[in-house]
Amino acid sequence: MHDPARPAPWTQGRPERDKAALYDDLARELDALLSGETDAIANAANAAAAIYHALPQLNWAGFYFLRDDELVVGPFQGLPACVRIPLGKGVCGSAAAQRRSVMVPDVEAFPGHIACDSASRSELVVPLFAGETLLGVLDLDSPVLARFDKADQAGCELLAQVIGRHIGAL
């Protein structure tokens, strides 16, 4: 099992400037993993597992899907999470309401942060679209302060594009 306190093998010894290339590789791997399967839950589950095990220093990785006017937890890796998040609430609800990524270097400094795992220190949430339609969000939590940077945001937005293409039938 991946130890979130240790860097994943694919980052070891690699300079930060390689991050974009590493997300490109992960995006290609996800595309291959999800291709040929049309079941949205199956693809979201495999995507959450692939991301959780590929990216270092995560304690939660998964999805919240838009159901009417709230987000409902979907497939994920990590500790059990709060099930329903109203639009506009918490980091996930803010990202969904604004239809843009929200990066939080210190969750304790984010007003309204919803604590599901007390180990979480930083968070990155990116919206998930099928075309123009908002499907929900991809949520990554880390036990490390300021774990995510602009390269992670751009990389995760790329991953979300790939995933959105494969779970559009949700």
Q: What is the closest distance, in whole angstroms, from the C-beta atom of residue 144 to ligand SME in the complex?
A: 14
Choice between 54 and 92, CB closer to ligand SME: 92
Q: What is the closest distance, in whole angstroms, from the C-beta atom of residue 157 to ligand SME in the complex?
A: 18
Q: What is the closest distance, in whole angstroms, from the C-beta atom of residue 141 to ligand SME in the complex?
A: 5
Written as six digits, the tokens of 136 are 């929900």
Query: To 5 degrees, how large is the angle CA 68–CA 70–CA 75?
Result: 100
Helix axes 150-166, 40-54, angle to 10 degrees: 160
Choice between 28 and 84, CB closer to ligand SME: 84
Q: What is the DSSP secondary structure assignment for residue 161, as one 8-state letter? A: H
Which position's Cβ is nearest ligand SME? 90
Beta strands across the sheet bearing 122-130: 84-86, 70-78, 60-67, 133-142, 122-130, 102-104
For residue 163, which of 57, 155, 103, 98 has the smallest C-alpha distance? Answer: 155
Choice between 36 and 47, CB closer to ligand SME: 47
Site for ligand SME, rule CB under 6 A: 60, 81-82, 85, 90-93, 113-114, 116, 120, 123, 139, 141
Choice between 4 and 93, CB closer to ligand SME: 93
